[in-house]
Structure 1
Amino acid sequence: MYRIHSRIGRRPTVQATTGRVTRRRARTRANLLDAAFAVFAAKGFGHVSIEEICDAAGYSRGAFYSNFSSLDELFFALYEERADLIADQVAGALALDREGLDVPAAVDRVTDVLLLDHDWLLVKTDFLVHAARDPEVARSLLRHRARLRQAIADRLARAHTPLPAVLGGTDGAARAVVAAYDGVTVQLLLDRDAARARTWLKHLLTALLTDGSGTPDHARN
Protein backbone atom coordinates (compact mmCIF):
# COMPACT_ATOMS: atom_id res chain seq x y z
CA MET A 1 0.00 0.00 0.00
CA TYR A 2 1.32 3.41 -0.94
CA ARG A 3 1.46 6.23 1.57
CA ILE A 4 -0.16 9.52 0.63
CA HIS A 5 1.82 12.69 1.29
CA SER A 6 0.32 16.18 1.28
CA ARG A 7 1.65 19.67 1.58
CA ILE A 8 -0.17 22.91 2.38
CA GLY A 9 -1.75 24.32 -0.75
CA ARG A 10 -1.19 21.13 -2.77
CA ARG A 11 -3.34 18.13 -3.53
CA PRO A 12 -2.27 14.77 -2.03
CA THR A 13 0.00 12.75 -4.32
CA VAL A 14 1.34 9.20 -4.36
CA GLN A 15 3.61 9.62 -7.37
CA ALA A 16 6.85 10.39 -5.53
CA THR A 17 6.34 7.55 -3.05
CA THR A 18 5.45 5.15 -5.86
CA GLY A 19 8.65 6.04 -7.70
CA ARG A 20 10.77 5.49 -4.60
CA VAL A 21 9.12 2.14 -3.85
CA THR A 22 9.60 0.98 -7.43
CA ARG A 23 13.27 1.97 -7.49
CA ARG A 24 13.88 0.40 -4.07
CA ARG A 25 12.27 -2.85 -5.11
CA ALA A 26 14.23 -2.96 -8.36
CA ARG A 27 17.45 -2.37 -6.42
CA THR A 28 16.56 -5.09 -3.90
CA ARG A 29 15.83 -7.55 -6.70
CA ALA A 30 19.10 -6.70 -8.47
CA ASN A 31 21.08 -7.12 -5.24
CA LEU A 32 19.45 -10.49 -4.56
CA LEU A 33 20.32 -11.66 -8.09
CA ASP A 34 23.93 -10.50 -7.72
CA ALA A 35 24.26 -12.25 -4.37
CA ALA A 36 22.63 -15.41 -5.72
CA PHE A 37 25.00 -15.47 -8.67
CA ALA A 38 28.03 -15.43 -6.36
CA VAL A 39 26.59 -18.07 -4.03
CA PHE A 40 25.44 -20.37 -6.85
CA ALA A 41 28.84 -20.13 -8.54
CA ALA A 42 30.62 -20.95 -5.28
CA LYS A 43 28.41 -23.78 -4.01
CA GLY A 44 26.13 -24.98 -6.80
CA PHE A 45 22.37 -24.62 -7.16
CA GLY A 46 21.46 -27.80 -5.29
CA HIS A 47 23.53 -26.79 -2.26
CA VAL A 48 22.21 -23.27 -1.66
CA SER A 49 19.43 -22.16 0.67
CA ILE A 50 17.30 -19.02 0.60
CA GLU A 51 18.86 -18.00 3.91
CA GLU A 52 22.36 -18.07 2.41
CA ILE A 53 21.31 -15.80 -0.43
CA CYS A 54 19.58 -13.40 1.95
CA ASP A 55 22.66 -13.30 4.19
CA ALA A 56 24.94 -12.62 1.20
CA ALA A 57 22.67 -9.81 -0.02
CA GLY A 58 22.02 -8.37 3.45
CA TYR A 59 18.24 -8.83 3.30
CA SER A 60 15.56 -10.72 5.22
CA ARG A 61 13.49 -13.61 3.95
CA GLY A 62 10.65 -11.11 3.60
CA ALA A 63 12.65 -9.15 1.05
CA PHE A 64 13.32 -12.37 -0.84
CA TYR A 65 9.68 -13.41 -0.96
CA SER A 66 8.56 -9.95 -2.03
CA ASN A 67 10.56 -10.50 -5.21
CA PHE A 68 10.63 -14.27 -5.79
CA SER A 69 8.22 -17.05 -4.88
CA SER A 70 10.93 -19.71 -4.71
CA LEU A 71 14.60 -20.48 -5.20
CA ASP A 72 13.71 -21.97 -8.60
CA GLU A 73 12.14 -18.69 -9.70
CA LEU A 74 15.22 -16.72 -8.66
CA PHE A 75 17.48 -19.23 -10.39
CA PHE A 76 15.58 -18.90 -13.64
CA ALA A 77 15.50 -15.09 -13.36
CA LEU A 78 19.27 -15.18 -13.01
CA TYR A 79 19.61 -17.41 -16.06
CA GLU A 80 17.28 -15.19 -18.10
CA GLU A 81 19.33 -12.12 -17.22
CA ARG A 82 22.58 -13.67 -18.45
CA ALA A 83 20.97 -15.40 -21.46
CA ASP A 84 19.47 -12.11 -22.61
CA LEU A 85 22.87 -10.46 -22.25
CA ILE A 86 24.47 -13.11 -24.46
CA ALA A 87 21.72 -12.79 -27.08
CA ASP A 88 22.24 -9.01 -27.13
CA GLN A 89 26.02 -9.41 -27.37
CA VAL A 90 25.76 -11.77 -30.32
CA ALA A 91 23.11 -9.67 -32.08
CA GLY A 92 25.20 -6.54 -31.61
CA ALA A 93 28.37 -8.21 -32.85
CA LEU A 94 26.52 -9.41 -35.94
CA ALA A 95 25.26 -5.92 -36.74
CA LEU A 96 25.04 -5.33 -40.47
CA ASP A 97 27.61 -3.36 -42.37
CA ARG A 98 26.56 -1.01 -45.16
CA GLU A 99 26.46 -3.82 -47.74
CA GLY A 100 25.31 -6.58 -45.42
CA LEU A 101 27.18 -8.80 -42.99
CA ASP A 102 30.93 -9.24 -43.38
CA VAL A 103 31.29 -12.73 -41.87
CA PRO A 104 35.03 -12.67 -41.02
CA ALA A 105 34.68 -9.24 -39.39
CA ALA A 106 31.57 -10.41 -37.53
CA VAL A 107 33.46 -13.45 -36.20
CA ASP A 108 36.10 -11.11 -34.78
CA ARG A 109 33.43 -8.99 -33.10
CA VAL A 110 31.62 -12.01 -31.64
CA THR A 111 34.75 -13.51 -30.11
CA ASP A 112 35.80 -10.12 -28.71
CA VAL A 113 32.57 -9.36 -26.84
CA LEU A 114 30.94 -12.71 -26.06
CA LEU A 115 30.51 -13.47 -22.38
CA LEU A 116 33.08 -16.09 -21.41
CA ASP A 117 32.98 -16.06 -17.63
CA HIS A 118 33.90 -19.09 -15.54
CA ASP A 119 31.39 -18.36 -12.77
CA TRP A 120 28.60 -17.91 -15.32
CA LEU A 121 29.51 -21.25 -16.88
CA LEU A 122 29.24 -22.95 -13.47
CA VAL A 123 25.77 -21.48 -12.97
CA LYS A 124 24.76 -22.26 -16.56
CA THR A 125 25.84 -25.89 -16.18
CA ASP A 126 23.84 -26.23 -12.97
CA PHE A 127 20.85 -24.81 -14.83
CA LEU A 128 21.23 -27.26 -17.71
CA VAL A 129 21.25 -30.19 -15.29
CA HIS A 130 18.27 -28.74 -13.44
CA ALA A 131 16.36 -28.28 -16.72
CA ALA A 132 17.17 -31.83 -17.84
CA ARG A 133 15.23 -33.08 -14.80
CA ASP A 134 12.31 -30.67 -15.06
CA PRO A 135 10.33 -30.60 -18.35
CA GLU A 136 8.79 -27.18 -17.62
CA VAL A 137 12.19 -25.59 -16.97
CA ALA A 138 13.55 -27.37 -20.04
CA ARG A 139 10.85 -25.80 -22.22
CA SER A 140 11.75 -22.34 -20.93
CA LEU A 141 15.43 -22.98 -21.59
CA LEU A 142 14.68 -24.17 -25.11
CA ARG A 143 12.76 -20.93 -25.76
CA HIS A 144 15.80 -18.89 -24.76
CA ARG A 145 18.11 -20.93 -26.95
CA ALA A 146 15.67 -20.53 -29.84
CA ARG A 147 15.68 -16.75 -29.33
CA LEU A 148 19.48 -16.71 -29.49
CA ARG A 149 19.53 -18.85 -32.65
CA GLN A 150 16.90 -16.64 -34.29
CA ALA A 151 18.89 -13.48 -33.53
CA ILE A 152 21.90 -15.05 -35.23
CA ALA A 153 19.93 -16.48 -38.15
CA ASP A 154 18.21 -13.15 -38.88
CA ARG A 155 21.55 -11.44 -39.37
CA LEU A 156 23.19 -14.26 -41.26
CA ALA A 157 20.22 -14.22 -43.66
CA ARG A 158 21.28 -10.74 -44.76
CA ALA A 159 24.97 -11.53 -45.07
CA HIS A 160 26.51 -10.24 -48.29
CA THR A 161 28.67 -13.38 -48.50
CA PRO A 162 27.09 -16.84 -49.00
CA LEU A 163 27.40 -19.36 -46.18
CA PRO A 164 28.83 -22.85 -46.77
CA ALA A 165 26.11 -25.05 -48.29
CA VAL A 166 26.87 -27.88 -45.84
CA LEU A 167 25.28 -25.85 -43.04
CA GLY A 168 21.89 -26.07 -44.72
CA GLY A 169 21.00 -22.39 -44.61
CA THR A 170 20.96 -19.72 -41.96
CA ASP A 171 19.10 -21.79 -39.35
CA GLY A 172 21.73 -24.52 -39.60
CA ALA A 173 24.47 -21.91 -39.40
CA ALA A 174 22.90 -20.40 -36.28
CA ARG A 175 22.71 -23.82 -34.65
CA ALA A 176 26.36 -24.40 -35.51
CA VAL A 177 27.36 -21.08 -33.92
CA VAL A 178 25.50 -21.94 -30.69
CA ALA A 179 27.02 -25.44 -30.68
CA ALA A 180 30.51 -23.97 -31.12
CA TYR A 181 29.92 -21.64 -28.20
CA ASP A 182 28.66 -24.53 -26.06
CA GLY A 183 31.70 -26.63 -26.90
CA VAL A 184 34.23 -23.91 -26.19
CA THR A 185 32.59 -23.00 -22.90
CA VAL A 186 32.80 -26.62 -21.71
CA GLN A 187 36.55 -26.52 -22.30
CA LEU A 188 36.77 -23.15 -20.53
CA LEU A 189 34.88 -24.61 -17.57
CA LEU A 190 37.68 -27.15 -17.17
CA ASP A 191 40.88 -25.25 -17.97
CA ARG A 192 39.79 -21.67 -17.02
CA ASP A 193 41.80 -20.25 -19.95
CA ALA A 194 39.53 -17.51 -21.35
CA ALA A 195 42.10 -16.23 -23.85
CA ARG A 196 42.52 -19.69 -25.34
CA ALA A 197 38.75 -20.16 -25.41
CA ARG A 198 38.30 -16.98 -27.45
CA THR A 199 41.01 -18.10 -29.88
CA TRP A 200 39.39 -21.51 -30.37
CA LEU A 201 35.95 -19.97 -30.74
CA LYS A 202 37.28 -17.69 -33.47
CA HIS A 203 38.82 -20.65 -35.31
CA LEU A 204 35.63 -22.69 -35.02
CA LEU A 205 33.33 -19.92 -36.21
CA THR A 206 35.65 -19.06 -39.08
CA ALA A 207 35.72 -22.70 -40.17
CA LEU A 208 31.94 -23.02 -39.85
CA LEU A 209 30.90 -19.84 -41.59
CA THR A 210 33.57 -19.68 -44.30
CA ASP A 211 35.82 -22.18 -46.05
CA GLY A 212 38.08 -22.28 -43.00
CA SER A 213 40.54 -19.62 -44.14
CA GLY A 214 38.25 -16.65 -43.66
CA THR A 215 37.34 -16.61 -47.36
CA PRO A 216 33.73 -17.33 -48.40
CA ASP A 217 33.29 -20.37 -50.62
CA HIS A 218 32.18 -18.40 -53.65
CA ALA A 219 35.27 -16.19 -53.60
CA ARG A 220 37.59 -19.12 -54.38
CA ASN A 221 35.86 -20.02 -57.66
Structure 2
Amino acid sequence: MAAGGTEKRVTRRRQRTRANLLDAAFTVFAAKGFGRVSIEEVCEAAGYSRGAFYSNFATLDELFFALYRDRAELIADQVAGALALDGPGLDVPAAVDRVTDVLLLDRDWLLVKTDFLVHAARDTAVAQTLLEHRARLRRAVADRLSRARTPLPSVLGGADGAAHAVVAAYDGVTTQLLLDRDVEGARAWLGQLLTALLTDGGTPVRTN
Protein backbone atom coordinates (compact mmCIF):
# COMPACT_ATOMS: atom_id res chain seq x y z
CA MET A 1 0.00 0.00 0.00
CA ALA A 2 2.79 2.37 0.93
CA ALA A 3 4.66 1.57 -2.27
CA GLY A 4 1.53 2.12 -4.30
CA GLY A 5 0.92 5.47 -2.62
CA THR A 6 4.48 6.55 -3.33
CA GLU A 7 4.13 5.53 -6.97
CA LYS A 8 0.94 7.59 -7.32
CA ARG A 9 2.64 10.63 -5.79
CA VAL A 10 5.58 10.24 -8.17
CA THR A 11 3.20 9.91 -11.13
CA ARG A 12 1.25 13.01 -10.11
CA ARG A 13 4.46 14.95 -9.58
CA ARG A 14 5.76 13.89 -12.97
CA GLN A 15 2.48 14.88 -14.64
CA ARG A 16 2.68 18.27 -12.93
CA THR A 17 6.28 18.72 -14.02
CA ARG A 18 5.38 17.80 -17.59
CA ALA A 19 2.46 20.24 -17.60
CA ASN A 20 4.64 23.03 -16.20
CA LEU A 21 7.30 22.38 -18.83
CA LEU A 22 4.67 22.54 -21.58
CA ASP A 23 3.24 25.79 -20.22
CA ALA A 24 6.71 27.34 -19.98
CA ALA A 25 7.63 26.11 -23.46
CA PHE A 26 4.45 27.63 -24.89
CA THR A 27 5.42 31.05 -23.52
CA VAL A 28 9.02 30.80 -24.73
CA PHE A 29 8.15 29.43 -28.19
CA ALA A 30 5.52 32.12 -28.72
CA ALA A 31 7.99 34.85 -27.73
CA LYS A 32 11.07 33.65 -29.64
CA GLY A 33 9.96 31.06 -32.19
CA PHE A 34 10.81 27.40 -32.52
CA GLY A 35 14.41 26.97 -33.63
CA ARG A 36 15.54 29.91 -31.50
CA VAL A 37 14.82 28.29 -28.15
CA SER A 38 17.12 26.04 -26.15
CA ILE A 39 16.29 23.37 -23.60
CA GLU A 40 17.99 25.51 -20.98
CA GLU A 41 15.61 28.40 -21.70
CA VAL A 42 12.56 26.18 -21.31
CA CYS A 43 13.93 24.76 -18.05
CA GLU A 44 14.69 28.22 -16.71
CA ALA A 45 11.21 29.47 -17.57
CA ALA A 46 9.64 26.45 -15.84
CA GLY A 47 11.99 26.54 -12.86
CA TYR A 48 13.34 23.03 -13.43
CA SER A 49 16.68 21.38 -14.12
CA ARG A 50 17.70 19.67 -17.35
CA GLY A 51 17.16 16.39 -15.49
CA ALA A 52 13.48 17.21 -15.05
CA PHE A 53 13.26 17.98 -18.75
CA TYR A 54 14.88 14.71 -19.84
CA SER A 55 12.70 12.68 -17.49
CA ASN A 56 9.72 13.84 -19.56
CA PHE A 57 11.02 14.55 -23.07
CA ALA A 58 13.89 13.13 -25.09
CA THR A 59 14.33 16.23 -27.25
CA LEU A 60 13.04 19.75 -27.73
CA ASP A 61 11.24 18.50 -30.86
CA GLU A 62 9.35 15.96 -28.77
CA LEU A 63 8.25 18.69 -26.35
CA PHE A 64 7.17 20.88 -29.27
CA PHE A 65 5.10 18.05 -30.75
CA ALA A 66 3.46 17.37 -27.36
CA LEU A 67 2.63 21.06 -27.03
CA TYR A 68 1.08 21.14 -30.49
CA ARG A 69 -0.94 17.98 -29.84
CA ASP A 70 -2.36 19.35 -26.59
CA ARG A 71 -3.50 22.61 -28.20
CA ALA A 72 -4.75 20.98 -31.40
CA GLU A 73 -6.82 18.50 -29.40
CA LEU A 74 -8.24 21.36 -27.34
CA ILE A 75 -9.43 23.05 -30.53
CA ALA A 76 -10.93 19.81 -31.87
CA ASP A 77 -12.75 19.31 -28.57
CA GLN A 78 -14.02 22.90 -28.59
CA VAL A 79 -15.42 22.53 -32.09
CA ALA A 80 -16.92 19.09 -31.44
CA GLY A 81 -18.50 20.30 -28.22
CA ALA A 82 -20.01 23.39 -29.82
CA LEU A 83 -21.44 21.30 -32.65
CA ALA A 84 -22.88 18.63 -30.35
CA LEU A 85 -25.44 20.81 -28.56
CA ASP A 86 -28.25 20.65 -31.12
CA GLY A 87 -29.11 17.01 -30.63
CA PRO A 88 -29.98 14.89 -33.68
CA GLY A 89 -30.35 17.80 -36.13
CA LEU A 90 -27.77 20.56 -36.49
CA ASP A 91 -28.97 24.17 -36.64
CA VAL A 92 -26.11 25.54 -38.77
CA PRO A 93 -26.41 29.28 -37.98
CA ALA A 94 -26.70 28.58 -34.24
CA ALA A 95 -23.75 26.19 -34.41
CA VAL A 96 -21.65 28.79 -36.24
CA ASP A 97 -22.40 31.27 -33.46
CA ARG A 98 -21.28 28.79 -30.81
CA VAL A 99 -18.13 27.75 -32.65
CA THR A 100 -16.96 31.32 -33.18
CA ASP A 101 -17.67 32.09 -29.52
CA VAL A 102 -15.60 29.22 -28.08
CA LEU A 103 -12.93 28.67 -30.72
CA LEU A 104 -9.41 29.34 -29.53
CA LEU A 105 -8.23 32.52 -31.24
CA ASP A 106 -5.12 33.11 -29.21
CA ARG A 107 -2.32 34.92 -31.03
CA ASP A 108 0.45 33.19 -29.07
CA TRP A 109 -1.01 29.82 -30.05
CA LEU A 110 -1.20 30.93 -33.67
CA LEU A 111 2.48 31.88 -33.60
CA VAL A 112 3.39 28.44 -32.23
CA LYS A 113 1.06 26.73 -34.70
CA THR A 114 2.65 28.60 -37.61
CA ASP A 115 6.12 27.55 -36.45
CA PHE A 116 4.90 23.96 -36.37
CA LEU A 117 3.44 24.27 -39.86
CA VAL A 118 6.73 25.58 -41.28
CA HIS A 119 8.64 22.84 -39.48
CA ALA A 120 6.23 20.20 -40.81
CA ALA A 121 6.59 21.48 -44.37
CA ARG A 122 10.26 20.49 -44.23
CA ASP A 123 9.87 17.13 -42.48
CA THR A 124 7.62 14.35 -43.81
CA ALA A 125 7.17 12.64 -40.43
CA VAL A 126 6.19 15.89 -38.75
CA ALA A 127 3.85 16.69 -41.62
CA GLN A 128 2.06 13.39 -41.04
CA THR A 129 1.46 14.33 -37.40
CA LEU A 130 -0.02 17.64 -38.47
CA LEU A 131 -2.18 16.02 -41.16
CA GLU A 132 -3.56 13.51 -38.64
CA HIS A 133 -4.67 16.25 -36.26
CA ARG A 134 -6.22 18.30 -39.04
CA ALA A 135 -8.06 15.18 -40.24
CA ARG A 136 -9.43 14.61 -36.74
CA LEU A 137 -10.76 18.15 -36.63
CA ARG A 138 -12.35 17.79 -40.06
CA ARG A 139 -13.99 14.48 -39.09
CA ALA A 140 -15.51 16.08 -36.00
CA VAL A 141 -16.92 18.91 -38.11
CA ALA A 142 -18.09 16.63 -40.95
CA ASP A 143 -19.88 14.29 -38.56
CA ARG A 144 -22.06 17.11 -37.28
CA LEU A 145 -22.54 18.83 -40.62
CA SER A 146 -23.87 15.56 -42.04
CA ARG A 147 -26.84 16.00 -39.66
CA ALA A 148 -27.63 19.59 -40.65
CA ARG A 149 -31.34 20.45 -40.65
CA THR A 150 -30.99 22.29 -43.95
CA PRO A 151 -29.05 21.13 -47.03
CA LEU A 152 -25.45 22.23 -47.32
CA PRO A 153 -24.48 24.12 -50.50
CA SER A 154 -24.01 21.51 -53.21
CA VAL A 155 -20.82 23.16 -54.45
CA LEU A 156 -19.06 21.95 -51.27
CA GLY A 157 -19.61 18.31 -52.18
CA GLY A 158 -21.26 17.16 -48.96
CA ALA A 159 -20.25 17.20 -45.31
CA ASP A 160 -16.61 16.25 -45.92
CA GLY A 161 -16.13 19.06 -48.41
CA ALA A 162 -17.89 21.48 -46.06
CA ALA A 163 -15.56 20.44 -43.23
CA HIS A 164 -12.54 21.18 -45.44
CA ALA A 165 -14.03 24.61 -46.17
CA VAL A 166 -14.57 25.30 -42.45
CA VAL A 167 -10.95 24.47 -41.60
CA ALA A 168 -9.70 26.52 -44.57
CA ALA A 169 -11.77 29.49 -43.40
CA TYR A 170 -10.31 29.20 -39.91
CA ASP A 171 -6.79 29.07 -41.39
CA GLY A 172 -7.40 32.19 -43.45
CA VAL A 173 -8.95 34.22 -40.65
CA THR A 174 -6.21 33.29 -38.19
CA THR A 175 -3.52 34.28 -40.68
CA GLN A 176 -5.06 37.75 -40.83
CA LEU A 177 -5.27 37.78 -37.03
CA LEU A 178 -1.53 37.19 -36.78
CA LEU A 179 -0.98 40.41 -38.70
CA ASP A 180 -3.66 42.78 -37.44
CA ARG A 181 -4.12 41.38 -33.87
CA ASP A 182 -7.86 42.10 -34.02
CA VAL A 183 -9.39 39.15 -32.13
CA GLU A 184 -12.95 40.48 -32.07
CA GLY A 185 -12.76 41.32 -35.75
CA ALA A 186 -11.50 37.80 -36.45
CA ARG A 187 -14.42 36.25 -34.55
CA ALA A 188 -16.96 38.39 -36.41
CA TRP A 189 -15.40 37.72 -39.82
CA LEU A 190 -15.12 33.98 -39.13
CA GLY A 191 -18.80 33.84 -38.20
CA GLN A 192 -19.84 35.70 -41.36
CA LEU A 193 -17.60 33.56 -43.54
CA LEU A 194 -18.79 30.25 -42.11
CA THR A 195 -22.43 31.30 -42.40
CA ALA A 196 -21.90 32.25 -46.04
CA LEU A 197 -20.06 29.01 -46.77
CA LEU A 198 -22.54 26.69 -45.11
CA THR A 199 -25.84 28.35 -45.98
CA ASP A 200 -25.23 29.78 -49.46
CA GLY A 201 -24.98 33.17 -47.78
CA GLY A 202 -28.56 33.06 -46.60
CA THR A 203 -30.02 32.77 -43.12
CA PRO A 204 -32.24 29.69 -42.93
CA VAL A 205 -35.21 29.83 -40.61
CA ARG A 206 -34.27 28.21 -37.32
CA THR A 207 -36.51 25.55 -35.86
CA ASN A 208 -36.89 24.70 -32.18
TM value normalised by structure 2: 0.96
The count of aligned residue pairs is 206
Match in the other structure for 2:179: 190
Distance in 2 of aligned mates of 1:208 and 1:214: 11
Match in the other structure for 2:143: 154
CA contact (8 A) 2:88 2:147 kept: no
Match in the other structure for 1:121: 110
CA 1:214–1:43 in 2, change beyond 3 Å: closer, same or farther? same
Distance in 1 of aligned mates of 2:152 and 2:96: 13
Deviation of the 1:215 alpha carbon: 2.3
Match in the other structure for 2:202: 213
Match in the other structure for 1:40: 29
CA contact (8 A) 1:37 1:123 kept: yes
Q: Greater shift after overlay, 33-42 or 96-105?
A: 96-105
CA contact (8 A) 2:150 2:204 kept: no
Deviation of the 1:27 alpha carbon: 0.2
Distance in 1 of aligned mates of 2:26 and 2:118: 17
Q: Pick from 95, 107, 120: which aligns with 1:106?
A: 95
TM value normalised by structure 1: 0.91
Q: Quick one: which amino acid aligns to residue 177 of structure 1?
A: V
Match in the other structure for 2:70: 81
**1:90-105 residue pairs with structure 2 within 5 A?**
90-105=79-94
The yes-or-no answer on 1:69 pairing with 2:58 is: yes
Distance in 1 of aligned mates of 2:9 and 2:85: 40
Q: Greater shift after overlay, 153-162 or 189-198?
A: 153-162
Match in the other structure for 1:199: 188
Distance in 2 of aligned mates of 1:123 and 1:188: 14
Q: Quick one: which amino acid aligns to residue 196 of structure 1?
A: G
Match in the other structure for 1:21: 10
Q: Quick one: which amino acid aligns to residue 120 of structure 2?
A: A
Distance in 2 of aligned mates of 1:40 and 1:27: 20
Cα offsets for 1:189-214 (capped at 9, x unmatched)? 00000000000000100000002132
Report % sequence identity: 79
Distance in 1 of aligned mates of 2:87 and 2:34: 45
CA contact (8 A) 1:163 1:169 kept: yes
- Structure scoring higher RCO (CA < 8 A, sep ≥ 6) equals 2
The yes-or-no answer on 1:181 pairing with 2:181 is: no
CA contact (8 A) 2:33 2:115 kept: yes
CA contact (8 A) 1:35 1:53 kept: yes
CA 1:98–1:54 in 2, change beyond 3 Å: closer, same or farther? closer
Deviation of the 1:96 alpha carbon: 4.5
Match in the other structure for 1:6: none
Q: Quick one: which amino acid aligns to residue 179 of structure 2?
A: L
Whichever of the two has the greater Rg, that structure is 1
**Unpaired runs of 5+ in structure 2?**
none
After TM superposition, what 4+ stretches of structure 1 lie above 3 angstroms from structure 2? none
**Unpaired runs of 5+ in structure 1?**
1-11
